[in-house]
Structures are given as C-alpha cells and as structure tokens.
Structure 1
Amino acid sequence: MVQQYTKKMIRQVFIKMLNEHPLNTITVKAIVAECEINRNTFYYYYSDIYAILSEIFQTELQRVIDEYNDTLSWEESFIAAAKFALENRRAIYHVYNSMQREELENYIYNVSGNVMIRYVEKVSDGISASSGDKKLIASFYQCALTQMVLHWIATGMKEDPDVISRRIGQLFDGNIVLSLKRSVGLTDIW
C-alpha cells in the first residue's frame, strides 16, 4: 500500500512539475525534495525521469483501452483519450518541445490505433471485408488522427478537440463502412 502511494506521489509531483517547467529542467533532486523522499526511494521505482514519462503514457493508454466500449463512436473514444492532454496542456506542450517528443508521438499513435482498430472491427460486423483491408482502413485513420493531434499541439492547442473530432466525424460519416463494403468486391491481395 505504501509502495503504491509513493509511486503515485512521484508521478503526481512529476506531472505537476511538467505543467510548470520544461522537461529538461526537471531533476530527480527536485522531485525527491517535493515528495520528501530520498533518492534511493526514487530509484527503487524509476531508473530516471524518462521512465516516469513512459509509465504515464502507458498508464493513460491502458485507461483508454479499459474505458472503451462498443457504445462509443470513434469520436467519443478519441475525445475520452484526449482527456489527459486537455487536463495537462502545458505538460504535453513541454514534452512535445523536448527531446522526448517520440514518447508523446508513440502515445498518440497508439491511442489513435487502438480507437480506430476497435471501431473498424465494430462497424465491420456483417461485412465480409478482408482482414488486410480492415487493418489498412484503421491504419489510414490512425495516421490521420495522429498527425492532426500533433499539428494541434504544435499550434498551441487552441481549438476544442471535442468540436474538431465531432466535425471530422460528421464530414467523414459513413466512409469507413463504405470502404469496408468496397473491400468485399475487390480482389484479395492480402
């Protein structure tokens, strides 16, 4: 119980600091001072600051996976996934502008992929599209969503992602199902 509390406290202090300071200015020394623990305790849980960052993104990805259900549209699922970013805009911006940008990009790519793969599987029920085409369709939307989110972060996260996601959903409504139906008539190359 104490171990989980300490580990959670380290993550919370790190996120708080990341919301206040660029990633490259946060030190283990500052974290342990804020947590009122010694360095050995920190190193018991994490090898370095980047290990905390990686764990945070993995935890958030797992949360998205756990919260997904078949009643959600891809837009609602993606908005739910964006919750962490919205609550920690400055932290996300600090990671985006750091040498650890790849961690953020992988997180966004994995969330987008998880949402789109599940959604394509859901809407393909009753359509005998090839598994290769399902993967291709999901991958296409995964890449598009990833780049849109990265662009949103790069431009200061000004637009409301809820509005943008829902608008994209309205503009492209039916395209995934139509693509799946087209797959049925195509020669299978997969």
Structure 2
Amino acid sequence: MKYEVTSLNTKKLFAEALKNLVVQKSFSKITVSELIRVCNVNRKTFYYHFTDVYDLLKWTLEQEAIEVVKKFDLIIDYEEVILFAMDYIEKNSVFLKNIYDSVGRDELKRFFYWDFIEITTSMIKKVEELTETTVPKDFETFLSSFYTEAIAGTLLEWIVHKEEHDKQQVINYISVIFRTALPASIKQYTEVQK
C-alpha cells in the first residue's frame, strides 16, 4: 500500500510540473529532461511511470477530470458532470489552451475520446435499463461515438472560445439533449425495428 501511495505521489509531482511548465511555454517544447530536473528525480523514475510526455499529459487529464466524471451517476447527475467539466476548463484555461495550441484540436480530442466513449456507453446502458429496452451493439456503438464526438467537440470549443458562450446556457442545451434526445433515440430505434 505504501508503494502505491508513493507511486501516485510521484505521478502527481510530474503532473504538477507539467502543468506549471505548460503555462510558461508550449507543450511541444517540454522534454523529459526538463521534467526530471524540475521534479528532482532521475530519468529512470519518469520512464517507470510514463512512456513519454504525452502519456503524462493523458494521465494528468484523466486523473484531474475524467476519473472524477466517471464517479458521477450520469443519468441523475449529468448537469453536475457538465458543470464540473466546464469549471475544470475555466480553472485550467491557460494550461488547456496551451495544450490545444501545441497539439491541435484533433490530438486533444483524441486524449478525451477513449475515456468519454466509455462514459457515454455507460450512460446509454443506463438509459436502456431505465426505458427497459435494448438496442443492438452496432447502434449502441454508433450512439456512443455520436455523443462522444458531441461532448468532446463542445468541451474543445469551450476551451478555445469560452468567453463567447454563456456557461449556464451551454449546460442547459446539453441537458436538454441528454434528457430528451438520447432516450428518444433508443425508444425510436426499438419501435422502428419491431
């Protein structure tokens, strides 16, 4: 147990160093050498925990945002999830904007995609349970991909242009879609297939 705590603390040390460096300069210019110097550890320690700086970035984003989102009951708390994600973006706006500028929209979306598809798939399964319906795996995969693209795209838009959008209005729009469109899509699909 002590080893796991030490390992987690070391990862958090690297994550904090990464966030501090990205605020100062482009993500693409950050090196492992710089990170180990800032953290005062050896190269072997970094590579024990991460394969490269991108792996550290992915871990950082997962730990700070995505793993927290997964703990919510997405059917009941989806507005809180959206608010949490948007608050996270606001609090880390310089960090995320610099990441966006360094790696580009598609690369940053790739970081979010695989974690968010797991979240949306879970949400779809819960809607199926609540509506007492089941859709085929291919339609479930399509819906997961569709909603993941929408969520990732909306969050990326918020990173770059948050000052142009009213946060509460965005939350309301997303809420309406989750509350109505997802259950309606599942219900409609099952009715058409009968």
Aligned counterparts, 1:17-32, within 5 A: 17-32=21-36
Measured against aligned partners, the alpha-carbon deviations of 1:117-137 in whole angstroms (never above 9, x if no partner) come to 222222222342423434433
| Alignment-mate amino acid for residue 169 of structure 1 | S
2:97 equivalent in structure 1: 93
Per the alignment, do residues 123 and 91 of structure 1 end up closer, same or farther by CA in structure 2, a change over 3 Å counting? same
- Give the whole-Å Cα distance in 2 for the aligned partners of 1:119 and 1:137: 10
State the TM-score, normalizing by the size of structure 1. Answer: 0.76
- Give the whole-Å Cα distance in 2 for the aligned partners of 1:88 and 1:78: 15
- Give the whole-Å Cα distance in 2 for the aligned partners of 1:3 and 1:176: 40
- Give the whole-Å Cα distance in 1 for the aligned partners of 2:25 and 2:80: 31
State the TM-score, normalizing by the size of structure 2. Answer: 0.75
1:178 aligned to 2:166? no
Match of 1:55 among 50, 54, 59: 59
What RMSD, in angstroms, separates the aligned Cα atoms of the two structures?
Answer: 2.9
Q: Is the 8 A contact 1:22 1:98 kept in 2?
A: yes
Match of 1:123 among 121, 127, 135: 127
| Alignment-mate amino acid for residue 38 of structure 2 | E
Aligned counterparts, 1:35-184, within 5 A: 35-59=39-63, 60-65=65-70, 67-69=71-73, 72-99=76-103, 102-124=106-128, 125-131=130-136, 132-155=138-161, 157-158=162-163, 159=165, 161-170=167-176, 173-184=179-190
Task: Structure 2: state its 5+ residue gaps.
Answer: none
In the TM superposition, residue 88 of structure 1 has moved relative to its aligned partner by 1.5
Q: Is the 8 A contact 1:78 1:115 kept in 2?
A: no
Q: Is the 8 A contact 2:120 2:144 kept in 1?
A: yes
Q: Is the 8 A contact 2:89 2:159 kept in 1?
A: no
Q: Is the 8 A contact 2:36 2:43 kept in 1?
A: yes
In the TM superposition, residue 164 of structure 1 has moved relative to its aligned partner by 0.7
In the TM superposition, residue 100 of structure 1 has moved relative to its aligned partner by 6.5
Q: Is the 8 A contact 1:85 1:92 kept in 2?
A: yes
- Give the whole-Å Cα distance in 1 for the aligned partners of 2:37 and 2:148: 40
In the TM superposition, residue 16 of structure 1 has moved relative to its aligned partner by 1.8
- Give the whole-Å Cα distance in 2 for the aligned partners of 1:79 and 1:25: 32
Q: Is the 8 A contact 2:72 2:81 kept in 1?
A: yes
Task: Structure 1: state its 5+ residue gaps.
Answer: none
